[in-house]
């Protein structure tokens, strides 16, 4: 079945998810009827989705929370990767620099209802960490590349490296209903950097590093409530995406950004963290 795990009973940032429950088939108890219909009864003992059920296969165990890692060593992207609208003609390459995903800067931006240079995966957990290593040399003003957290064309956060007045600058921006707001910025003259985003329910934090050992925060924690379908309205069933972004912001460009890997892992102590949080807050 399909359902939502809402934060504070309202915010479904993970989108619509698939849940499994036991099903039994029962037959109408109408002995006088010529034809007795059979019908499914879902979760027959309680009629609701429970935290745990006995598995129907002897010796089977529930899988551990699943992260994701791609070192970009294959000639094609795995099925976990998604694009915003059509990737054809392709704006990415896994062969231009073997062992890296190359994104060619596209003129489209997150705030437009058009295709743009983004490759991402779905956020799968309320608590997570995602990071990448990027090599990028911004040329003209407006060129940028980095890490993005996207709900849709109306709401996103982007931590990107760009050029301005002859110097490189890291920026954290919020895109919301057409407004593009810079939340933080930091000078950065390095051509290769690590970018990281962590999530804790409705709190997202961005950081950058030169060596993946010492991290510098890029601004303060941002409120992910703007990523919530309850705030945005409309039909936002797919949930938040995390991924790699490269744009020339409307201008033609022959530039590109290379990403050496992308790693995503859940960080909650328990896979049942959301359920436990619901109980602590006494939410349905």
Delimit the domains of the chain by residue range: 68-266
DSSP E strands in 153-282: the ranges are 155-164, 167-176, 179-187, 192-200, 203-209, 215-217, 222-223, 241-247, 256-266
130 SS3 class: strand
pLDDT digits (tens, 9 = 90+) for 157-190: 999 999 876 789 999 999 999 899 999 999 998 9
- Phi, psi for residue 63 in degrees, rounded to 5: -70, 155
Strands 23-27, 38-42: pairing is antiparallel
89 close to 43: Cβ distance less than 8 angstroms: no
Residue 231, SS3 per DSSP: helix
Average pLDDT over the chain, rounded to an integer: 92
Q: Which residue has the higher pLDDT, 87 or 263?
A: 263
Q: Look up residue 278 and give its DSSP letter.
A: H
Contacts of 263 (CB under 8 A, 6+ apart): 67, 68, 69, 70, 130, 131, 132
Q: Which two tokens stand for residue 99?
A: 């062992």
**pLDDT category of residue 258 using cuts at 50, 70 and 90:** very high
Whether residue 92 contacts residue 101, with contact meaning beta carbons closer than 8 Å, is answered with: yes
- With pLDDT > 70 as the criterion, what percentage of the chain qualifies? 100
Continuous segment of H or E residues that includes residue 117:
strand 117-122
Task: Encode pLDDT of 94-144 as tens digits.
Answer: 999 999 999 999 999 998 888 899 999 999 999 999 999 999 999 888 999
**How buried is 180 (Cβ within 10 angstroms: 0-12 exposed, 13-18 middle, 19+ buried)?**
middle
- Span of 27-31, 49-53, 266-270 with lowest mean pLDDT: 27-31
pLDDT reported for residue 31: 76
Most confident stretch, 26-30, 65-69, 252-256: 252-256
Residue 7 carries which DSSP code?
B
**Could you name the CATH architecture of 68-266?**
Sandwich (2.60)
């Amino acid at each position: 079945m399909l359902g939502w795990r809402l934060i504070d009973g309202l915010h479904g940032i993970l989108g619509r998810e698939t849940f499994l429950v036991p099903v039994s088939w029962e037959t109408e108890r109408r002995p006088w009827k010529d034809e007795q219909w059979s019908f499914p009864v879902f979760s027959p003992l309680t009629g609701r989705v429970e935290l745990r059920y006995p598995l129907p296969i002897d010796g089977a165990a529930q899988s551990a929370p699943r992260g994701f890692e791609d070192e970009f060593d294959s000639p094609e992207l795995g099925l976990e990767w998604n694009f915003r609208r059509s990737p054809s003609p392709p704006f990415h390459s896994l062969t231009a620099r073997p062992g890296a995903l190359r994104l060619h800067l596209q003129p489209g931006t997150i705030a437009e209802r058009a295709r743009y240079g983004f490759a991402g995966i779905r956020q799968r957990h309320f608590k997570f960490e995602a990071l990448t290593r990027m090599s990028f040399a911004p040329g003209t003003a407006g060129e940028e590349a980095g890490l993005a957290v996207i709900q849709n064309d109306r709401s996103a956060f982007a931590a990107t490296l760009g050029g301005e007045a002859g110097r490189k600058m890291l920026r954290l921006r919020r895109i919301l209903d057409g407004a593009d707001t810079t939340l933080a910025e930091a000078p950065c003259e390095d051509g290769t950097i690590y970018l990281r985003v962590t999530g804790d329910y409705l709190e997202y934090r961005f950081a950058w590093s030169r060596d993946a050992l010492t991290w510098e925060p890029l601004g303060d924690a941002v409120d992910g409530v703007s990523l919530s379908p309850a705030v945005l309205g409309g039909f936002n069933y797919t949930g938040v995406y995390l991924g790699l972004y490269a744009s020339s912001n409307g201008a033609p460009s022959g530039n590109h950004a290379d990403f050496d890997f992308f790693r995503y892992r859940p960080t909650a102590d328990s896979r049942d963290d959301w359920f436990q949080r619901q109980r602590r807050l006494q939410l349905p």
